[in-house]
Structures are given as C-alpha cells and as structure tokens.
A and B are shown apart, each in its own frame.
Chain A
Amino acid sequence: MTTNTVAPPSRRRKKSLIQRFLAGPLPWITPMLILILAIVLWPVYEMGRTSVLEISGSGVTKGFAGLENYRELFDNPNLLGAISRTFFWVVTVVAITIFISLFLAQLLNAKFPGRRFVRYALIVPWAASVIMTATSFRWMLDGYYGILNRILLDLGLVEEAIDWMGSAETSLPWLIIVAVFVSLPFTTFVILAGLQTVPGEVYEAAKVDGASARKTYFSITFPLLKTSLFIATVINLINVFNQFPIIWVMTGGGPGYTTDTTTTLMYKLAFRSQEIGQSAALSVVNFGIILIFVLIYIRATGFGKKED
C-alpha cells in the first residue's frame, strides 16, 4: 500500500506545472470563469462601488460617500411602499401563474384533436416582446380610446368610461394580469415537461389499485412535479421581481409612486430624481432581496441537498 501511494507522486513531480494545469479541469472551465467574472461579478462589484460613491446629478463622481446613499435611501418616503408592493406583486403574480399553469399543463398533456395548435398558441405571449404586449394592453385599457371601455359601455356593464391606468387601485390588478399573462407560457411548458417525465406505469398501478382521479393527482402527479415546480417558481420569482417593462410601459410607476416596485423606483431614482448613488444603493438592496428569495426557497424545498 505504502509503496503504491508513494511512487506516483515521484513520477508526477517530473510533470511541469503547465502539464499539470492542462491535465486538470481548469482549461475547460477557464473561458466560462472569465465570462462569469466579466459579465456577472464585475457588474456586481461596480454596483456595490457606485452605491458608496457620491455622484452628482450630472453623473460626475465626487468621491467616497460611505453609507450616506443608504441613509438617504432608507429616509426616502417612497421606499417602504415600493418594497411592500414588490413583495405583494411577486407573491401574487407567481402564485397565480403557477396555479393557472398547473391546469394548463394538465390540459396540454391530455390528448385531444388540435392539441399541437393549442400548444403553439400558448407560446405567442412568450414569443411576443413584453414591451409590445404591455403597449397593447396599455392602449386597450386607455380611458379615452380603450377597447375594453368600449365593450363594457356597449354591454351596459359600466355607466361611464373608466380610466383604468388613472389610479393604482385599478391599474395594479391589470399589471398583475399582464405579468401573469406573459409568465404563463414558460411556466406551463416547464410543468408540462415535468408531467411528461412521470412514467405511465405509475398511473397504471394506481388504476389497478383503484385510486380515484383526485387521489392519483395529489398522491402521484403533484409530488412528482416537485422539481419542475421548483424550477418554475424560482425562475418566475426572479423574473417577476425584476419585471420592468410591463410596469414602465403601462403606468410608469404612476400616478406618483403608487405602482412602483423597487425595480422601477431604482430607475426613477437614477433618471428622474438624479440620485444615482441612491439608485445604486437600492440596486444593492434589490440584489440582496433576490438572494434571500432564492435562499429561502432552496431551504424550504430542500433543493441542493443530496437527493436520495
């Protein structure tokens, strides 16, 4: 044993450093590492650095500001509203999306004539640019020209035109509907992919045992969908949290700051209020929140632990 373990190192010593480097995993992952460093870690570093700099309204760096930007940010009267709205927005949109997607995926997994076309049709909101979708909705909901008001008025459901985007009470629900609409295709297809991995024998066995459809779903299908649901939820959480175009196009976070999430508030701080440092501080906070989201979820689902 001892001779065996001693001998190889002596041979290895003869290999040059370069040879050893080339034989290891590093040459294969170096391009990826460089990519990650350049396009992920470097911006994160820049973001953090900007958040502790004093930057004038015109964009000139005036020097180190310490935590001044963060202090100003936490004094900002619009921050608390934006944070609680963001949580409400993310939880609502993701929950509704997952719920509807479960039904849609089940539907698309069933065999019926024309299924292929229904599957194609579901891709449309995904394939269309989000800006385009949001713009269409914005004008469909317009108080003066919107088709929705026309329909409601013609059907006699409302007395006079409603300015849907005029106040947060009416615009926030619509923002959520549009966000769900654009999130559905991806989520549905992830769940559909999950459904298709459930082996047919399991269902046959359940049938033989006389399990009801309901029992089959909750005891077999749903538990086996755990991984797909996990992926769909985490990716949606991140997407919806970072969702900018829908809110920006439809309400611009307005009126005032009443439909802002932390993402749109970040943009407004930089480009409307000329507070670049504060905006960078908020993006660091956003980054922290998204990390927490992901960590909580990973813990809750036990994902990342070794599977049995």
Chain B
Amino acid sequence: MAKISLRRGAALALTGLLAAGTLAGCAADATTDTGGTTDNGSSASAESTTIRVVAAQYTDDMQPYYDDLVMRFEADNPNINVEVEVVSWNDIDQKIKTMVQTNDLPDIGNLNYFSSFAADGLLYTADELLPAATLDDMVETFIENSKYEGTAYAVPDLASARLFFYNKDIFDAAGLTKADIVTWDGVRAAAEKIKASVPGVTPLALPLGPEEAQAEFLIWAASNNGGYYNNGAWDITSAANVETLEYLQGLVADGLTNPSPATFNRTDGAFALFAQGQVGMLNGAIFLPSVLEEQGSTINYDIAPFPTNRADGTSITLGVQDYFFGFKNEGETNKAAVQAFMSFLFEADNYAGFLEAAGGFLPATKSAGEAMSSDEALAPYIAVLPNAVFYPGAEASWPAVQGETQQTIGLAVAKGADIMSILEGIASKAE
C-alpha cells in the first residue's frame, strides 16, 4: 500500500515537474521524456517499465561501468528504464534487507547470499533470469551453490578463491621456505622460528574479528576435514572443529599470532599489517595483491597452498561466490525487463567489462574462464578451484549462522575459552 502511494506521489511530483518544464519553455525535453511510447509506434501499447538494481561496489569502477551499461541497454530497449544503485559492501546487506522489510523490493539484487530470500518465495528462478544457453555456460559448481531446495534461484556473478600468503623477506631471515608450511605442524614450527629470529613481527595473522571470521574459521576447519556443513547436514560441533580451534588456541597462547584474534579484523588488521611487512604469513585472497598495491606496499611476498592437517595431505581453498537474483513484484510485471537486463549484462563483452570493473575476481562463466586462463595472476586460483569448499549458502539459516560465527568464533581461540559452548551457540542458529 505504502509503496503504491509513494509511487503515485512520485508520479504526481514528476508530472508537476514536467508541467513546470513545459511552461518554462523546455517543451522539447518534456516530450522526449514522455515520448518513448509515441515515437516507438510498434510498442505503443507496451507501458514503459522501470527496474531498480542494487549492485555491490566491488571497486570504484562499478558505477562508471553500470552507467555505460545502462546507457547502451536503454538505447536498445527504449521501454525499459534501469536505475542502478551501487552500494558499498558495508551497507548493501542492510540496504536490501530493509527494502524487503518495507516491501519496497528492488528488481535485481547483488549480494553474497540469496537463500533466505528464496526461502520466502521472493525470487525468480535462474531459468527465469537467463536464457538456457547462458546458464549452460556457467561453471556447474557455482550453479550448484545457487540452489535452494534443488532449484537455482540466483546466478553467480563472480567468485573469489583464497590462498596462503607469506612474506619472503621474513621467511628468508628465519631460514624458512615454502616447503616448511605445507602442514599445520609446519606452520607452528615456522611461526616459532619467526618469533625467535625476527622479533617484533607477528608470525601468523589470525583475523577472527567480525568482518570475515566466518571465512577465516572455515579455511582452518576445512583444512582439518571440519566445517559448517557436511553430507547434507549442519555439523558445527564436530570433533574436527574442536580440534581446529584447539590448534589455533595453542598458537595464540604461545604468542605466535596477533594477541586478540576476536577483535582483529581482516582489512584494517591482518591485511594492513601484512602490507607493512609486519606479518610472516596469513590466509590471503585473490584480491589481496590489489589491496597491497592500493596501500603502496613494497613487501616481497609469495603465495602457497593452505597448510593442511588432512590425513591425505590435500589442500583446500575457500571459494566464495556472489549472486545476482531477481525479485518478483506483484503480478510479475517486471519479469521481461529483469530478464532483458540480466541477459544483456551476461553478453560476453558486457560480462568481461563487469569482471574488469570488479577487478581480479574469478569469472562465473566457462567462456570467460577460458578467455582469462592465460592471466598469470589468476591461474593459481583457477588451478585450486576443484578443491574448493564453499559456504552452505543454500541453507536458509546460513546468514544467521554466519552472523553468530562472526560475533563469537574469535572468542573460542582465547586462553581458557570453552570451545564447545561457543560452537553450540553457533549451532543453535542453524535450523
């Protein structure tokens, strides 16, 4: 109701403005605005639709990218207006959720989860968003991760993968090489060596602060065959997870990490300190090099697989994918426009532009993947993707589990912490 009256109000205001414009002698402008339908004789009956897109700000290049994309799209589709709002990662989750709550749904959303919207029946299916040919071109794992109860309700927009980063100068000073950090025991020994021979630096950065604790924990846990979700069920209080946290707790207790992991965040903590050459090693990501560059860092670093504690010695990576999804509105009148815009965005050239603007992520389509496989910076990440673990993003309660993990998992590595009760607290959010 409120939405309709708001729209009506806006329409009235617009009419008023247009009228004023005409009176002021800007008649030419006014007719172009309203003239879309009259110029286009063939579609005179089709009403013009406006769709709103709330898109994630991967970098500052996103807004210019969308401005250009929308301009070209609207030229091809004169009956569709597209309003794109590019929102920072800090705010976008809250923004979209508030829109849902006030029943002022956007038409297309772009976020790192989708399942709770799908569970509420708000979303178009992936088949409705994109033509079959485009869907077939998507990397299967990513489509698999876009399913809620067996049906894909979102499409991947891009993905990232993570690897272990280490500071070569610090390793040289401590007499260490890449071969020393293949296993957890190796990491502990290496951290001890760094602590002894390069005083003042943090041997291992452990950012379990709220910003990204859910990822940091999953990387360590999965390297020990643990994690949030195993074989189709939540498995948060598993022995593997307890063992993982005990291992990390030991590192913290011996002063081999930053002193308070629970308040140490990734961006302003771990990454910033690594950029200044104050960290020996840490869990990094595909976009860490661009962060280092942005901060003018001159450190000498290299990447390695994540240290593992698995019996078979395999190393995992954490794959994180983000999504595009389309919100149904009443009567699904926005369906055609949403489809048209999504298809346009995934046209090869437009999608390549999207990836370029987002900067250094892995493509969601096979064709773009092939085109980019020669990129040296991306190659190691593409290589580890087959061993990727993902968040249980298809579970409707994942956002709540993630929220609780971000708040509390850091406490589990503090001295004397009751690991089991913290894990139980997180598990209580999984339904």
B273 and A144 within 8 A (CB): yes
CB pair A255 B101 closer than 8 Å: no
**Residue in contact with A256 in the complex, picked from B99, B259, B407, CB distance below 8 Å:** B407
A144 to B119, CA, bound (A): 43
Chain B nearest Cβ from A261, distance in angstroms: 15
Contact with A along B396-431 (1 / 0, CB 8 A): 110110011011101100100000000001000100
Q: Are A58 and B263 in contact (CB under 8 A)?
A: no
Segment touching B, from A160-168, A174-182, A207-215: A160-168
Within 8 A of B (CB), among A249-266: 251-257
- B259 and A143 within 8 A (CB): yes
Q: Does B117 contact A (CB under 8 A)?
A: yes
Q: Is B227 positioned at the interface, with any CB of A under 8 Å from its CB?
A: no
Q: Would you call B263 and A165 a contact (CB within 8 A)?
A: yes
Contact A163 B407 (CB under 8 A): no
Give bound CA distance, A254 to B99, whole Å: 28
Report Cα–Cα, A163/B410, bound state, in Å.
Answer: 15
* Contact flag A268-B407 (CB < 8 Å), given A59-B101, A251-B263: yes
Whether A254 contacts B262 by the Cβ 8 Å rule is yes
With a cutoff of 8 Å between Cβ atoms, the chain B residues found around residue A143 in the complex are 258-260
Cβ contacts under 8 Å, A254 to chain B: 209-210, 262-263, 407, 410
Given known A-B contacts A255-B410, A257-B407, A274-B403, A58 and B100 have beta carbons under 8 A apart: yes
CB of A77 within 8 A of chain B? yes
Q: Which of B71-116 contact A (CB under 8 A)?
A: 93-94, 97-101, 116
Task: Report yes or no: B116 in contact with A58, Cβ–Cβ below 8 A.
Answer: yes
CB distance from A265 to the nearest CB of B (A): 10
Instruction: Judge whether A166 and B273 touch: CB under 8 Å.
Output: no
Q: Does A56 contact B (CB under 8 A)?
A: yes
Contacts of B100 in A (CB 8 A): 58-60
Interface bin, chain A: 20 to 34
Smallest CB gap from A58: residue in B = B116
- Which of B122, B262, B278, B407 counts the most A-chain CB atoms under 10 A from its CB? B407
Question: Cβ of B210: which chain A residues have Cβ within 8 Å of it?
Answer: 252, 254, 272
Interface string of A256-284 (1 = CB under 8 A from B): 11000000000010011111100000000
- Kindly state the separation between the CA atoms of A55 and B410 in the bound complex, as whole angstroms: 29
Chain B residue at minimum C-beta to C-beta distance from A255: B262
Is B120 on the interface with A (CB-CB < 8 A)? yes
Does A57 make an interface contact (CB < 8 A)? yes
User: For B93, what are the chain A residues with a Cβ–Cβ distance below 8 Å?
Assistant: 271
- In the complex, the chain B residue whose C-beta lies closest to that of A171 is B263
Is the beta-carbon distance between A272 and B406 smaller than 8 angstroms?
yes
Complex alpha-carbon distance, A55 and B120, angstroms: 10
Q: Is the CB of A57 within 8 A of B400?
A: yes
Given contacts A163-B260, A252-B210, contact A274 B116 (CB under 8 A): yes
- In the bound complex, CA of A256 to CA of B405 (Å): 9
Distance to closest chain B CB from A117 (angstroms): 36
Q: How far is the CA of A143 from the CA of B258 in the complex (A)?
A: 9
- Contact among B97, B116, B259 with A163 in the assembled complex (CB-CB below 8 Å): B259
A-B contacts, 29 of them at CB < 8 A, read: A55-B101, A57-B396, A58-B97, A58-B100, A58-B119, A58-B122, A59-B99, A59-B100, A60-B101, A77-B425, A143-B259, A144-B273, A163-B258, A166-B259, A166-B263, A254-B210, A254-B263, A254-B407, A255-B262, A255-B263, A255-B414, A256-B408, A256-B411, A257-B407, A271-B93, A273-B403, A273-B404, A273-B407, A274-B116
Interface residues of B (CB under 8 A from A): 93-94, 97-101, 116-117, 119-120, 122, 209-210, 258-260, 262-263, 269, 273, 278, 396-397, 399-400, 403-404, 406-408, 410-411, 414, 425, 429
Residues of A whose CB lies within 8 Å of any CB of B are 55-60, 77, 143-144, 163, 165-167, 251-257, 268, 271-276
Query: What 5 pairs across the A-B complex have the smallest Cβ distances?
Result: A166-B260, A255-B262, A59-B101, A59-B100, A272-B403
